């Protein structure tokens, strides 16, 4: 049984204690349901009662799945893991994106994994650099202007096979950002 770090936030946002949520799950046989069904059940319970009911439905479902031991922190419903690291740097989004995208594109290997299917995209809010790795995992770098002269970089590595791999990659990307 893992107590999610988000339980306090869930209680505050929903006005229900975690014990009340657990009673709700027990009353609805949630242990027998898959992720999508539990999230749908929670969404029906929250819809029209709180802002961002869809987002909170996912957060509550994940916390519940961690609580009952169905998944570990950082683990997705498909059994894979993901990690993200972030850093705020000086500059404009275009400058920082161009600099990092060039450096990322030149590296054909990260932590002994080769890259494949490199792609970039830009929206009015964010710029992205993405690629697949030879082990089937993927990395998404996003660049967002937070205020004049400050850019938020976020690297999200998805499709990792284990919690140990997630820890290894979190450390790698933190060091890479430094």
**What is the CATH architecture assignment of 81-177?**
2-Layer Sandwich (3.30)
Q: Chain-centre distance of CA 165, in angstroms?
A: 15
Domain ranges of the chain: 7-67, 81-177
Cα–Cα distance between 100 and 104 in angstroms, integer? 6
Q: What global pTM score does this model have?
A: 0.75
pLDDT tens for the 178 residues of the chain, in order = 555 668 999 999 999 999 999 999 999 999 999 999 999 999 999 999 999 999 999 999 999 999 999 988 888 888 899 999 999 999 999 999 999 999 888 888 888 888 999 999 999 999 999 999 999 999 999 999 999 999 999 999 999 999 999 999 999 999 998 8
- Report H helices in 93-157: 93-106
Residue of 120, 126, 130, 121 lying closest to 145 (CA atoms): 126
Distance CA 119, CA 95 (A): 18
């Amino acid at each position: 049984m893992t107590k999610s770090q988000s339980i306090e936030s869930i209680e505050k946002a929903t006005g229900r204690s975690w014990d009340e949520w657990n009673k709700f799950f027990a009353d609805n046989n949630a242990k027998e349901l898959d992720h999508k069904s539990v999230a749908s059940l929670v969404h029906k319970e929250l819809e029209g009662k709180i802002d961002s009911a869809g987002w909170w439905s996912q957060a509550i479902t994940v916390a519940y799945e961690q609580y009952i031991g169905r998944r570990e922190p950082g683990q997705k419903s498909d059994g894979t893991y993901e990690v993200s690291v972030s850093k705020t740097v000086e500059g404009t989004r275009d400058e920082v994106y161009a600099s990092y995208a060039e450096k990322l594109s030149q590296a054909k290997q990260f932590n002994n994994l080769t890259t494949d299917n490199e792609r970039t995209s830009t929206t009015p809010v964010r710029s992205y650099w993405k690629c697949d790795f030879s082990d089937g995992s993927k990395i998404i770098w996003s660049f967002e202007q937070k205020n004049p002269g400050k850019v938020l970089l976020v690297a999200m590595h998805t499709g990792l096979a284990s919690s140990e791999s997630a820890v290894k990659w979190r450390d790698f990307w933190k060091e890479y950002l430094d």
